């Protein structure tokens, strides 16, 4: 027995089967590069450490190792976390308070 073909007018009104939304993964996009939380660092970030031996960070954030003792805050391409953002912001506020 041959299978019946649907009539031409009914084929146009059929809707394609939709996937179950609970199973479909959302698209994931890279956050891009920048200094905001969740983004990839566009450059290395270092901060010199106090030469007096206290280990306290001093001076501005620089993007190449400043020589001597220094702490690397984040490597190029590394994820900017809340902690990294706090350190970057603290360096900015320390620099502004030193200027005055």
In a domain, 11, yes or no: no
The pLDDT assigned to 50 comes to 87
Give tens-digit pLDDT for 50-94.
887 788 888 899 999 998 889 999 999 999 999 999 999 998 887
Q: Has residue 79 been placed in a domain?
A: yes
In a domain, 85, yes or no: yes
User: What whole-number distance in Å separates Cα of residue 40 and Cα of residue 68?
Assistant: 27
pTM higher than 0.85 for the full model? no
**Overall average pLDDT of the 38-49 stretch:** 94
Total number of domains in the chain = 1
Does 2 map to a domain?
no
Q: Which residues constitute the domain of residue 87?
A: 31-99
Q: If phi over 0 gives left and psi between -120 and 50 gives alpha, with beta otherwise, what is residue 32? A: left
User: Whole-angstrom Cα distance, residue 56 to residue 61?
Assistant: 13
d(CA 37, CA 53): 31
- What pLDDT does 28 receive? 64
Is the pLDDT confidence value at 13 over 70?
no
Q: Is 70 exceeded by the pLDDT of residue 7? A: no
Q: Which two tokens stand for residue 31?
A: 């956050």
């Amino acid at each position: 027995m041959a299978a019946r073909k649907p009539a031409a007018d009914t084929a146009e009104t059929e809707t394609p089967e939709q996937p179950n939304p609970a199973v479909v993964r959302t698209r994931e996009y890279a956050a891009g590069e920048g200094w905001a939380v969740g983004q990839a660092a566009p450059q290395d970030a270092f901060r010199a450490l106090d030469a007096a031996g206290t280990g306290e960070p001093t001076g501005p954030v620089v993007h190449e190792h400043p020589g001597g003792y220094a702490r690397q805050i984040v490597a190029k391409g590394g994820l900017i976390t809340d902690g990294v953002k706090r350190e970057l912001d603290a360096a900015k506020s320390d620099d502004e308070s030193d200027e005055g």
